[in-house]
Structures are given as structure tokens and as C-alpha cells.
Amino acid sequence: MNLNSIGVGGAGRGAAGGAKGRVIIFAPPEGEDGRKLKKALRRAGAEVIVPVPDEYGAALGQFAGVRGIPAPELPEDIREKAMTALSLRPTYPELPDTLIVFALQEEEALERALEAVKNCGAGPFPYKAVLTPTNMTWSVYECFRQIKEEHEQMTS
């Protein structure tokens, strides 16, 4: 898939020759597993983005650097949780598990990144998605829900 046509920004350069695009890790594993995952992706040539939950109100495409994407409509349960905190800003909940979104412009870069995740010595990471014109407007929560449902269907 080539994301040039949808304006994916950001260019990471690494040992694998410089993939254009980003890998976004939501709810990364803590400690050594998190370091291994990020290091492996950077070595594969990806720019690694790790948003904090306070940023989870944005659309997937916004994390990837796509311009002109409005904030997504969040599921009602997430909106309620975000607004219950005594704060002037919404406080978004963390995801229940790691979600990795690949916003890479070249198929070879995606293959390198997937191989890096598989062989990083951490995980497993069952919840992975590739940024598409369809899901780039989704919330982090919608993407996680969709990927989790697909994973459950494939493994049951």
C-alpha cells in the first residue's frame, strides 16, 4: 500500500535504509519489552510514535501526520470516562492491551516493520493494524475494538 496519496507525513531513517512513515504504538508494554519493541522498529527504519492516553482523542491519521483529518467521534462510554475526571481537559482511558498501527508508505517498509515486531524478543502483539483511507478517521478505541474482534474471530 502506498500512503503518499493520502499525505502521510514523517520520515524515519534507520539501519534498514530509511522507511517513510510512522509506526504508532498505543499502550506500549512497560520496561524491557517496550524498549525492545521500539528499538527493533527504529532499526527497521520506522519513526516510532508513542502517544500518551491524554492524546487518544485524535484520529489514527492525525497520529500518522495526515493533515486535515478532524477529531473522531468517540464511543459514548469513552466520552463518559474521559469527562468524569475533575479536569478542564478530557482524560482518556488507556487501552487494555498494546495496539500497533503501521503508517508506512512502502510495502517493503511494512514487511521490515512486521518482521521487527515479530523478532524483537517481546510480545506477542496480536493487535496490529495498517493505516488505510478507511481507518484513518477512526478513534484509537474504534480501531482497537475492530482489531480485537477480528483477532477473536480468527482465533476461535
Tell how many helices (H) and how many strands (E) occur in the chain.
Answer: 5, 4
Sheet strand arrangement including 47-49: 47-49, 21-26, 99-104, 128-130
Please list the alpha-helical segments (H only) found in the chain. Answer: 31-43, 60-63, 76-83, 107-118, 140-155
Q: Which amino acid is at 93?
A: P
Q: Are 90 and 57 in contact (CB under 8 A)?
A: yes
Q: What is the pLDDT along the chain (156 residues), one digit of tens a residue?
A: 334 433 444 433 333 333 468 999 999 999 999 999 999 999 999 999 999 998 999 999 999 999 999 989 888 888 887 776 556 677 889 999 999 999 998 999 999 999 999 999 999 999 999 999 999 999 999 999 999 999 999 998
Q: Provide the CB-side half-sphere exposure for 18 (13 A, CA).
A: 1
Bridge partners, residue 25, by sequence: 100
Q: Distance between CA atoms of 90 and 117, rounded to whole angstroms? A: 32
Domain segments of the chain as ranges? 4-155
